Amino acid sequence: MAITVVGSVAFDTVETPAGRRERCLAGAATYFSLSASFFTDVRVIAVVGEDFGATEQAVFDAHKIDTTGIQHALGKSFFWEGSYLENLNEAKTHNTELNVFAGFEPRIPEAYHDSQFLFLANIDPVLQRRVREAMPNAKLVGGDTMNYWIKDHKPALLEVLKGLDVLLINDTETRMLTVSRSIALAAGKIFEMGPKILVVKHGEYGATAFFAPKRADGAERVAHRAFHVPALPLEEVVDPTGAGDSFAGGFFGYLASQKELTPQSFRYAMFYGSVMGSFVVERFGTERLQQLTREEIDHRFRLFRELTHLD
Ligand code: AMP
């Protein structure tokens, strides 16, 4: 089943202990769609500027990603500059230029309306909400956000959360959003905001999913409804940018490829998310996702099993 994603398609300048790259093709929707494209059909809603040319388009085409929902506007594409010199688990933002995103009015192509899965990748929550409202028939809606929006756009973000089934954010964002002492407490607060599943990404320490209690087991402890997946212990992380979006792409891409959504499929989705995150950080930008094969994904999935299995 197809997934529609809305989010940034951007150029990033990134500095990490492994080096520096100027203006590489990136953006939350780019990482998400490349990652999900290994599992299912992907459709993108975004806006790009005149700096997005045939070379960038070819990256989407090579993965059979439907880009009819990407509008081309006069001006420059979204630009982000960040570094990870002190901490590989958290980006330090130096510059965010919304550029063509500042005047973006999302238009959803007719052919996207039968998408059963919708992912609201990191972008202005006002835009996330508009796309959510325009696609009321999606059966599973996921979303992401970041400190930038939590800090200064919280009311709009809270409106988005009401329409989400799954929220995927990192540890710091979870604490910022809920002002909680522990992520287990935060999960309870987030369930009251709308999502039924919270996936907290811990960077090199993996990710934890929290599932909201059903009415019948409301008294069950949070820990009994959590599921943890590790990250692959890599010798070198070249560039952590996009790990979260690639995790989300693997997670939702896998779910969309399944006939039925069961508790087990969500657990598998956590593993595929972690697998995809482990690839993207091996090279700068989207380089690794651009060269990846399905065989490599399957092989790494088996490696994850060995990493966590007791026999
Ligand atoms: P992550 O998976 O969190 O590392 O996401 C990285 C991507 O998010 C980068 O490629 C950036 O272009 C994009 N990004 C950074 N800041 C923002 C923002 N404020 N809104 C939307 N996208 C952003």
List pLDDT tens digits, range 190-212.
999 999 999 999 999 999 999 99
For residue 308, the CA-to-ligand 1 centroid distance in Å is 30
For residue 12, the CA-to-ligand 1 centroid distance in Å is 9
Regarding the beta carbon of 81 and ligand 1, being less than 6 Å apart is answered no
**What pTM was computed for the model?**
0.95
Q: How far apart are CA 179 and CA 301, in angstroms?
A: 35
Cα–chain center distance at 254: 13
97 is written with which tokens? Answer: 């230029």
- Write out pLDDT tens, residues 39-86: 999 999 999 999 999 999 999 999 999 999 999 999 999 999 999 988
Out of 241, 274, 278, 284, mutate this one to test ligand 1's pocket (max ligand atoms within 8 Å of CB): namely: 241
For residue 280, the CA-to-ligand 1 centroid distance in Å is 14
- Write out pLDDT tens, residues 4-49: 999 999 999 999 999 999 999 999 999 999 999 999 999 999 999 9
For residue 122, the CA-to-ligand 1 centroid distance in Å is 6
